[in-house]
Amino acid sequence: MEASVYDLQETRTKIDQELTIRSSNAVILMCAIFIASIGLNLNSIPVIIGAMLISPLMNPILGLGMALGLSDIPLFKKALRLLIVQLTISIVTSTIYFSFSPLTAASDELMARTFPTIWDVLIAFAGGIAGWIGLRKKGANNIVPGVAIATALMPPVCTIGYAIANQNLVYVLGASYLFLINCSFILIATFLGVKWLLRSDNSLRIQSSRRINCSLIALACLISIPSLYTAYVLSQDSLFETNLDRYVEEEFQDTFVVEQRYDEEQRRLTVTTLGTRYDANERKQLSNSLDDYGLSNVELTVIQIPDFNKLDRKQLEKLFTDQTQRWR
């Protein structure tokens, strides 16, 4: 009965054949980057996913992981050369697109690629393991394309192009870091998969390199540390927003809240209410209650809109003018 998976020698041969630089693959990559850039620009998730399905960016990363696992220098050079060529094509294509796009504002999908966290590390590592398993399977399967979608290799590259076109260094660094996370941990997962397979597969004879092992461990640690910090910052921001919402919901339950706004620079929470009016003592009590929600550094401003039915025309006009000036 024919085996359902490739042995190590067959897997190496398969991936070696996919690491050849071809003009057709370059055109496919340019089209994929162009589509992904449009999807990011328009904030369209389906378009982004479609672009990732046709992207060939995954192959050289899997090749790098396999080459390191086998201590195969020629394969490593071949994979690295292809990855550099593909990255150059991708960044140039996305930069050209965003340079001419009339939509210059950063969409939510673009912004999401500028602040990577430890969760991106976990996704990339799990995706790399799945990608290695899919690479070894004979016949057609949707694992490798699925990994390309889950780890989102293309959007960070497109975001780099957007940042270059708009001269935004912060976005360049954030998107580059996300791509580095994805690339490194897919590589590391593939490396570990090769090492595990070597214990039972004798189709290839290699000599293990302790230097490579130590280097990859150091790389994983160095890349993970900043993502732990960003995850902490993100969790603190999420907790802060939750506390703000809970404070407004519980402390202003006797009135109708028209709007709540938080000014991050001034650390000021502005709550606009309609209905029950608070006197000076009640407003002071509301400010003191901020400590109970972990919001001790926040300053509270309450804007109270009176009952419209009790105002005459002149009072309504004055109120409308005052509120318009405040909300500008």
Q: What is the pLDDT of residues 263-290, one digit of tens each?
A: 888 888 888 887 777 888 888 888 888 8
Ranges of the chain with pLDDT below 70: 1-3, 139-148, 150-151, 201-209, 306-328
| Residues facing residue 269 across a β-bridge | 262, 300
- Which ranges in the chain are annotated with CATH 1.20.1080? 8-239
* Cα dihedral 251, 252, 253, 258 in deg (nearest 10): -150
Strand pairing category for 256-263 and 268-274: antiparallel
Residue entry with tokens 């490593």:
76
User: Three-state SS for 207?
Assistant: coil
User: Three-state SS for 257?
Assistant: strand
Residues in Cβ contact with 156 at an 8 Å cutoff, skipping those fewer than 6 apart = 113, 175, 176, 178, 179, 182
Tokens of 246: 């809970």
Handedness of CA 84, 231, 186, 155 (dihedral sign): negative
Find, among 192, 185, 265, the residue nearest to 224 by Cα. 185
Strand pairing category for 299-305 and 256-263: unpaired
pLDDT computed for residue 143 by the predictor: 67
Can you tell me the distance from the alpha carbon of 262 to that of 265, in angstroms, rounded to the nearest whole number? 9
* Cα dihedral 118, 123, 73, 19 in deg (nearest 10): -140
Can you tell me the distance from the alpha carbon of 92 to that of 157, in angstroms, rounded to the nearest whole number? 10
Residue entry with tokens 């398993």:
133
123 near 64, Cβ under 8 Å? no
The CATH code of domain 8-239 reads: 1.20.1080
What backbone torsions phi and psi does residue 166 show, to the nearest 5 degrees? -105, 10
Alpha helices in the chain (DSSP H): 8-17, 23-42, 45-53, 58-70, 73-100, 108-111, 118-136, 143-151, 154-165, 169-198, 210-251, 280-288, 313-327
Can you tell me the distance from the alpha carbon of 300 to that of 32, in angstroms, rounded to the nearest whole number? 49
Tokens of 276: 């029950």
pLDDT computed for residue 115 by the predictor: 85
Tokens of 247: 């404070």
Give Cα 26 distance to the centre of its chain.
25
pTM over 0.85: no
Amino acid at 303: I
